[in-house]
């Protein structure tokens, strides 16, 4: 049992937990902003214990779904990551899937009976999109779109699970937040395709990197690093976001832009080889810190803390997975 738990936790790759956790925290911070502002209708700021449960589910959601993703991607992982527990046999695939299903069902029960039943919608959609992603990544940019939308479901979950809300569920500001999260995560997963190039190519999965080749993809890597910033400027300048930018947002925004451009540069400089794996730390930090920056639109102090904590712990947890073949 201990051996299984250790292998299961290793397969969860907990540095990813900040991707889903901070994405969901953004949704919850947005909800609290409405609950304490002039725009408030039926929204009620959630108590601390409720927020703790929501965040626990969000931070664990990536790892639980990652087991399903590893199971569906065994074919290419035998090439890309032959030392992963499920590939080596250290983690029994069937038992791991059963545990993940049980945990997902438990999350659904908690959401329905303790949080808000409406939040079941993004929870279920997130699981479905995770399954679809394994197949969608074989069709060029479709995989990036599906992955980005999947993570944006965490933002929707954080918002809807925080408390009651009324129509319209989708406003310009809420949709804009979901789009920004989706784009940042779609870009993040694009960079991960560099390390998986050989395995994806052998498995017949035509990701962007496989489709255009290393030469063109490395140029896309550095050009696309500016995409989230350009998109935010377009959305904000057209008044799609109610909240106004502040000094904290500007500071964190410039730091995020640096991290995004730095990530693009790393993959431009080293689009092949072992360094594509170790560049993931910068990639994940850029994505998570970008999500934390958006929180500054609603809660400046929280955004600053989450930005710093995320930057530190993403790198810290990534160091526990120093094996590029795992």
Q: What is the DSSP string of 253-293?
A: HHHHHHHHHHHHHHHHH--SSTHHHHTHHHHHHHHHHHHHH
Residue 221 maps to a domain: yes
Give the residue ranges of the chain where pLDDT is below 70.
39-40, 324-326
Residue 129 maps to a domain: yes
Tokens encoding 214: 């290393």
- pLDDT for position 28: 97
Residue 270 maps to a domain: yes
Q: Which residues make Cβ contacts (< 8 Å) with residue 54, sequence separation at least 6?
A: 24, 28, 46, 115, 157, 158, 161, 162
Residue 326 maps to a domain: no
- pLDDT for position 7: 86
Reported residue count of the chain is 326
Residue 237 maps to a domain: yes
Map tokens 């925004």 to a residue. 253
Q: What is the pTM of this model?
A: 0.92
Tokens encoding 24: 């969901």
Domains held by the chain: number: 1
Residue 25 maps to a domain: yes
Measured between alpha carbons, how far is 324 from 274 in angstroms, rounded to an integer?
7
Alpha-carbon torsion (137, 143, 148, 151), positive or negative: negative
Q: Cβ(96)–Cβ(146) under 8 Å?
A: no
pLDDT in tens, 78-88: 877 788 888 88
- pLDDT for position 325: 67
The range of the structural domain enclosing residue 216 comes to 2-321
């Amino acid at each position: 049992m201990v051996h299984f738990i250790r292998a299961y936790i290793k397969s969860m790759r907990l540095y990813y937990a900040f991707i889903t956790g901070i994405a969901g925290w953004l949704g919850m911070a947005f909800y609290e902003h409405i609950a304490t502002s002039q725009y408030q209708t039926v929204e009620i700021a959630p108590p601390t214990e409720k927020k703790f449960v929501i965040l626990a589910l969000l931070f664990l959601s990536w790892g639980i779904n990652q087991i399903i993703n590893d199971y569906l991607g065994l074919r290419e992982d035998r090439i890309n990551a032959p030392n992963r527990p499920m590939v080596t046999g250290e983690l029994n695939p069937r038992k791991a899937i059963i545990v993940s299903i049980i945990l997902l069902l438990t999350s659904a029960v908690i959401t329905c009976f303790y949080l808000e039943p409406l939040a079941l919608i993004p929870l279920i959609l997130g699981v479905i999109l995770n399954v679809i992603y394994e197949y969608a990544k074989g069709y060029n940019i479709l995989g990036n779109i599906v992955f980005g939308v999947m993570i944006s479901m965490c933002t929707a979950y954080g918002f809807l699970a925080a408390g009651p809300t009324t129509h319209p569920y989708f406003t310009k500001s809420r949709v804009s937040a979901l789009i920004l999260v989706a784009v940042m995560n779609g870009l993040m997963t694009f960079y991960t395709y560099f390390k998986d190039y050989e395995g994806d190519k052998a498995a017949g999965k035509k990701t962007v990197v496989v489709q255009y080749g290393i030469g063109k993809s490395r140029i896309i890597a550095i050009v696309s690093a500016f995409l989230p910033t350009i998109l935010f400027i377009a959305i904000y300048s057209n008044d799609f976001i109610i909240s106004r930018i502040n000094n904290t947002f500007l500071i964190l925004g410039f730091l995020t832009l640096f991290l995004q451009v730095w990530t693009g540069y790393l993959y431009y400089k080293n689009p092949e080889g072992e360094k594509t794996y170790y560049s993931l730390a910068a990639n994940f930090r850029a994505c998570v810190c970008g999500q934390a920056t958006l929180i500054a639109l609603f809660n400046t102090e929280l955004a600053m803390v989450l930005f710093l904590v995320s930057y530190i712990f993403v790198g810290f947890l990534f160091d526990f997975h120093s094996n590029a073949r795992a």
